[in-house]
């Protein structure tokens, strides 16, 4: 088992986090996703510059998982109610923390990295007295759905998620404390 440490990322981690995002985000997309659309999403939402913005945003916390001196996974936590009114109604918790992203490099799947990130995210939410957490997961990503179910997440709704020109359907999952 790999020794993993999870801690808050800093601005100096932005480029390395972007590299991890470029390697992991395509794996969470459904088979047959258009690579050009994925590249547009990576440039718009997961570039080093965007990570710099996330790291500077007081409403967000970026957690990094480090093994052998390298960032091997990350999670982005976002405080505040969901911006989509239908998702906010489905989540129905206040205050609530969104686990906006959680990705682990493929060579580290099954080594405890995902679990370490999830434990850190849930510990942060509980420590800050959130009523619970929520996230969206692609309806075709069964591996991720099984992972979240192990932690007690339950489906409370659906949403759409746009990547380039493609619109995907996500399940909205919630864990109430």
Q: pLDDT tens-digit profile of 101-130?
A: 999 999 999 999 999 999 999 999 999 999
Average pLDDT over residues 14-30: 95
Return mean pLDDT, the chain.
96
Between the two ends of the chain, the Cα-to-Cα distance in Å is 29
Average pLDDT over residues 23-49: 94
Q: pLDDT tens-digit profile of 51-108?
A: 999 999 999 999 999 999 999 999 999 999 999 999 999 999 999 999 999 999 999 9
User: What's the pLDDT score for residue 2?
Assistant: 63
> Which among 88, 83, 103 has a CA at the least distance from the CA of 172?
88
User: What's the pLDDT score for residue 44?
Assistant: 96
User: What's the pLDDT score for residue 74?
Assistant: 98
User: What's the pLDDT score for residue 1?
Assistant: 57
The dihedral sign for the CA sequence 129, 54, 112, 28: positive
Average pLDDT over residues 148-161: 97
104-143 burial, b at 16+ Cβ within 10 Å, e below that, comes to bbeebeebbbbbbbbebbbebbeeeebebbbbbbbebbee
The percent of residues above 70 in pLDDT, for the chain, comes to 99
Are 176 and 132 contacting, i.e. CB atoms less than 8 angstroms apart? yes
Q: What would you report as the CA-atom Rg of the chain, rounded to the nearest whole angstrom?
A: 15
User: What's the pLDDT score for residue 139?
Assistant: 94
């Amino acid at each position: 088992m790999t020794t993993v440490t999870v801690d808050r990322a800093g601005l100096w981690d932005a480029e390395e986090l972007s590299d991890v995002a470029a390697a992991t985000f395509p794996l969470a997309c459904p088979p047959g996703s258009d690579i050009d659309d994925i590249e547009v999403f990576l440039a718009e939402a997961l570039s080093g510059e965007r990570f710099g913005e996330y790291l500077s945003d007081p409403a967000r916390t970026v957690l990094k998982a480090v093994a052998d001196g390298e960032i091997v996974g990350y999670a982005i936590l976002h405080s505040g109610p969901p911006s989509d009114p239908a998702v906010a109604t489905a989540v129905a918790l206040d205050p609530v923390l969104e686990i906006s992203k959680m990705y682990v490099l493929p060579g580290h799947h099954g080594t405890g990295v995902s679990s370490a990130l999830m434990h850190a995210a849930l510990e942060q939410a509980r420590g800050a007295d959130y009523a619970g957490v929520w996230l969206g997961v692609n309806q075709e990503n069964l591996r991720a759905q099984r992972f979240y179910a192990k932690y007690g997440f339950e489906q409370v709704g659906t949403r759409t998620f746009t990547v380039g020109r493609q619109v995907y359907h996500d399940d909205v999952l919630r864990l109430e404390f």
